[in-house]
């Protein structure tokens, strides 16, 4: 009888599945980045959250969150799957430089929405309650009042009915303003007269005393705040631009203010940022300028929104805020 041969071959076992490590890189303000990092350390310790420029092994990076990616983002992160904007907009990205298989996602998070609602409300009330007139009167040491009109007598129009525009309208409704909204595609919002498409733009503008721009900047919306648009508003109307500087034809605004077609403007954005020191907007008595601060991404709420989106991605579900490259937002 043969002795059973000792088997020197180890029984077959499935090779250890080596899970690729996934890392997320944040590029932006470091102090705020640390807040995102702390959130991920507590809520998703299995994911590596790294702060640019210490991103570890570039080939492990699947998710990149930033306001300004490097030009050669696909060379820096060859296995990138999703590029997240750390802000609400993506017009600062050169979409042609991001490979087509990489998804691009806007930041939709409650902190940005709350900030925008505050600013839009403040600017609308500032116009409604004539604060720009009172600032001028104060400079002249003039104690004289203007008639206080009820909010219901003011017609406020909001351009852009995405998450931000809708949240702004919801808050403005509580004051009793007459409200209209304009959007590329149709929307229905309670208590708001909604208009859609270029063909209804003039009709939307017709009744407005205060016009707020919250549109994304695309080739279709660039320069939309121009003389022709202002001419359709009620005479003496006021403007709030919390979209992008590229929406506004700056010379047309100055002309509309000089002619009295517009009475005032609150501008949080400018074609050139920072606004050059010699720009006429700085010293204009009917313009209030703020340095692109209408709203800011809030690390805690944004990190939570980012993690929820990463979980969706890992589960093969659609991501909130996915950009349609053909529309540009």
The interface region with ligand GLV, picked from 5-13, 54-62, 86-94, 129-137 by CB under 6 A, is: 86-94
Which distant-in-sequence residues (6+ apart) come within 8 Å of 124 by Cβ? 156, 172, 177, 210, 212, 240
Binding of ligand GLV by 165 (CB under 6 A): no
Question: What 3-state class would DSSP assign to 22?
Answer: coil
Question: Which residues make Cβ contacts (< 8 Å) with residue 310, sequence separation at least 6?
Answer: 24, 44, 47, 63, 82
3-state SS class at 48: strand
In the complex, what is the shortest distance from the CB of residue 110 to ligand GLV, in angstroms, rounded to a whole number?
13
Answer yes or no whether residue 69 interacts with ligand GLV by CB under 6 A.
Answer: no
Q: Taking contact as CB under 6 A, which single stretch among the options 84-92, 145-153, 201-209, 310-318 is the one that binds ligand GLV?
A: 84-92
CA atoms within 13 A of residue 127's CA, in its CB half-sphere: 29
Q: Which residues are identified as catalytic?
A: 244, 292
DSSP assignment letter at 141: T
Question: In this chain, which of 47, 73, 88, 211 binds ligand GLV, going by CB under 6 A?
Answer: 88
What gap in Å lies between CA 224 and CA 296, rounded to an integer?
24
Q: Which is nearer to ligand GLV, 37 or 109 (CB)?
A: 109
How many residues sit close enough to ligand GLV to count as binding (CB under 6 A)? 4
305 part of the interface to ligand GLV, by CB under 6 A: no
Q: For residues 102 and 82, is the Cβ–Cβ distance under 8 A?
A: yes
| Site mask for ligand GLV (CB under 6 A), range 97-126, x = bound | ---------------x--------------
> Distance between CA atoms of 329 and 325, rounded to whole angstroms?
7
My answer on whether omega of the bond before 274 falls inside 30° of 0, hence cis, is yes
Q: How far is the CB of 146 from ligand GLV (least distance, A)?
A: 33
Q: Does residue 87 touch ligand GLV according to CB under 6 A?
A: yes
Candidates 14-22, 82-90, 275-283, 306-314; binding stretch for ligand GLV (CB under 6 A): 82-90
Binder among 89, 110, 207, 223 for ligand GLV (CB under 6 A): 89
Least separation in angstroms between residue 42's CB and ligand GLV is 25
Range list of β-strands (E), the chain: 23-27, 48-51, 61-66, 82-85, 103-105, 155-159, 178-183, 193-196, 210-213, 237-241, 262-267, 287-289
Distance between CA atoms of residues 327 and 231, nearest Å: 28
Closest contact distance (angstroms) between CB of 34 and ligand GLV is: 20
Give contact residues for ligand GLV (rule: CB under 6 A): 87-89, 112
């Amino acid at each position: 009888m043969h002795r059973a041969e000792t088997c020197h071959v180890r029984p077959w076992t499935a090779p250890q599945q080596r899970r690729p490590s996934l890392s997320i890189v944040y590029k932006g303000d470091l102090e705020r980045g640390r807040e995102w990092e702390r959130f991920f350390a507590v809520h998703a310790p299995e994911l590596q959250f790294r702060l640019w420029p210490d991103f570890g092994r570039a080939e492990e990076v699947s998710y990149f969150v930033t306001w300004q990616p490097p030009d050669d983002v696909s060379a820096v992160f060859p296995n990138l799957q999703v590029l997240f904007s750390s802000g609400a907009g993506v017009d600062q990205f050169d979409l042609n430089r991001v490979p087509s298989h990489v998804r691009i996602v806007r930041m939709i998070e409650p902190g940005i929405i709350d900030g925008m609602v505050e600013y839009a409300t403040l600017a609308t009330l500032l116009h409604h309650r004539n604060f720009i007139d009172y600032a001028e009167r104060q400079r002249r040491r003039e104690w004289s009042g203007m008639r206080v009109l009820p909010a219901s007598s003011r017609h406020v129009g909001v351009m852009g009915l995405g998450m931000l525009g809708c949240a702004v309208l919801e808050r403005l409704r509580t004051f009793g303003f007459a409200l209209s909204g304009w959007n590329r595609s149709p929307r229905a919002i309670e208590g708001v007269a909604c208009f859609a498409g270029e063909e209804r733009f003039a009709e939307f503008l017709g009744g407005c005393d205060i016009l707020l721009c919250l549109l994304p900047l695309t080739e279709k919306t660039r320069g939309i705040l121009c003389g022709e648009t202002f001419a359709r508003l009620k005479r003496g109307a006021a403007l709030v631009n919390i979209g992008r500087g590229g929406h506004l034809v700056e010379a047309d605004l100055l002309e509309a203010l000089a002619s009295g077609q517009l009475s005032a403007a609150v501008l949080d954005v400018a074609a050139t940022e920072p606004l050059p020191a010699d720009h006429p907007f700085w010293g204009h008595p009917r313009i209030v300028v703020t340095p692109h601060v209408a709203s800011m991404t809030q690390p805690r709420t944004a990190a939570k929104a980012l993690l929820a989106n990463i979980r969706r991605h890992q589960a093969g579900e659609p991501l909130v805020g996915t950009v349609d490259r053909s529309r540009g937002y």
